[in-house]
Amino acid sequence: MREAGKRTRGRGTTARPGRPRQAEVARLAGVSQTTVSLVLGKKTGGAAISEETRQKVVGAAESLGYVPDPAARRLAAARNNLLGVFSFTATFPTDVQHSYYPFLVGVEQEAAAQGYDLVLFTGSSPGGTGGGTHALHRARLADGCLILGRHAPTAELCRLVAEGFPVVHLGRRDEPEGPAWVGADYVSASRGVVERLVALGHRRIVLVREDDEAPASTDREQGVREGLEEAGLPVGPEAVFRSADPARELTSDRVREWVADGVTAFVAEETDTSAAWRALNAALAEAGLNCPGDVSLALLGSPPPDAADGPTPAGFDIPRAQLGAAAVRLLAALVAGEQASEPLVACTFRPGDTLAPPRRTSPQPPDPLPGPRVPGRGRNRNTRTEQGEPTQ
């Protein structure tokens, strides 16, 4: 594999602006500061406040990032050595089986080494109680925040950055004015997997991926295309299969068609759902194709923990704990007001058990289970019946 890329991304920080005040909330909501105090303090004091007014105040407070908790305001007066962790995933990755859990291991270890405590904002997950993106206004309880998840809200993150709040996203991002980030070199790693397949003799390779514009997905596809192009292999639309619903669209019939057309190797991306990988495995099994006897198979990432019983797929491993630690170092530097950056982290090739040279002839998937035998069917056209007449 080539040397890991050296694209870096850091962001200096200026002094953090003052936190929004109740007076600002009042101006935005079009009410008095007394009303704001009563609503946010959850005390009516005998005053009759309509639900419409209350919603205006709450909405204005959230849009400004106002934190009404007095304890939070005391924490804001100075650095408090707290780093927040937001996870925009279906569940917060505290389960050891979660693909993001190793990130948290690296985050925790490096935070301890840097002298920081962690605040886990579980409300950022859809299953939490904080309302997803709206939970980000609570990030100001900490000195800075780490963000996990392929689909973190761009507008909300850019707003925090514009206000001078230190934010680091775990994973490459494309927005010039977005948060600082740390990431793995998926381009080089994916290109290296294709190079290994080409060295084994494969000339028709298909990438299976989700229909997603996340940088981690586009980087993997770029690496695959670079590997194919350097080998002089087809890089057109037929080289990549994108699907918004792999479990439904990636069928055994489609896999059989690819193999009949000369495809000898498949590559799938890893995501937090592993949808493409799971669908590809299911389709190959249903088609009766063995790996690596009939086709070779590679995974651009680590296999999901709940699929550890089968053969180890070839591909690459992502240094998740190392990335988590790098994210904390970068965030700590930004909190301190320093210019900082972290290089892309190289992935490690995993030989696995699913690669082999292609068969000299395309494998013939088994026919469906036969039904009742019908005379004259299922024979070669050139054979003859017992009466000596050709079959139709």
- Residue-wise pLDDT for 118-140, tens only, equals 998 875 555 444 445 566 777 78
Q: Which of 166, 83, 168, 115 is nearest to 337 (CA)?
A: 166
Q: Which of 98, 300, 111 is nearest to 208 (CA)?
A: 300
Across the beta sheet with 348-350, the strand order is 240-243, 205-210, 265-269, 296-300, 314-317, 348-350
Are 151 and 88 spatial neighbours (Cβ–Cβ below 8 Å)?
yes
The whole-angstrom separation of Cα 226 and Cα 221 is 9
Q: Which of 388, 202, 392, 382 is nearest to 294 (CA)?
A: 202
CA neighbours within 13 Å on the CB side: how many for 86? Answer: 31
- Residue 361 is predicted with a pLDDT of 58
Q: What is the pTM of this model?
A: 0.70
Helices 252-260, 275-286: axis angle to 10 degrees equals 70
> Which of these CATH numbers, 3.40.50.2300, 3.40.50.720, 3.40.50.1980, 3.30.565.10, describes 186-318?
3.40.50.2300
Helices 33-40, 51-64: axis angle to 10 degrees equals 90
- Residue 325 is predicted with a pLDDT of 95
- Residue 100 is predicted with a pLDDT of 77
- Residue 18 is predicted with a pLDDT of 57
- Residue 354 is predicted with a pLDDT of 97
Encoding tokens for residue 330?
């970068």
Task: Extract the residue ranges of the chain whose pLDDT is less than 50.
Answer: 1-16, 45, 70-77, 127-131, 369-392
- Residue 120 is predicted with a pLDDT of 85
Are 57 and 40 spatial neighbours (Cβ–Cβ below 8 Å)?
yes
Are 77 and 137 spatial neighbours (Cβ–Cβ below 8 Å)?
no
> Where are the domains positioned within the chain?
186-318
Q: What are phi and psi of 34, to 5 degrees?
A: -60, -40
Residues 6+ apart with CB under 8 A from 316: 189, 190, 192, 193, 300, 301, 347, 348, 349, 350
Are 181 and 171 spatial neighbours (Cβ–Cβ below 8 Å)?
yes
| Peptide bond connecting 358 to the previous residue in cis, omega within 30 degrees of 0 | no
- Residue 134 is predicted with a pLDDT of 60
- Residue 14 is predicted with a pLDDT of 39
- Residue 384 is predicted with a pLDDT of 37
- Residue 267 is predicted with a pLDDT of 98
- Residue 309 is predicted with a pLDDT of 75
- What radius of gyration, in Å, describes the C-alpha atoms of the chain? 27
| pLDDT tens track for 61-119 | 888 888 755 444 444 445 788 999 988 765 555 665 566 788 889 999 999 999 999 99
- Residue 148 is predicted with a pLDDT of 86
* Environment class of 19 (CB within 10 Å of its CB; exposed 0-12, middle 13-18, buried 19+): middle
| pLDDT tens track for 50-66 | 888 889 988 888 888 88
Query: Cα 156 from chain centroid?
Result: 18
Q: Tokens 């059989």 sit at which residue? A: 256
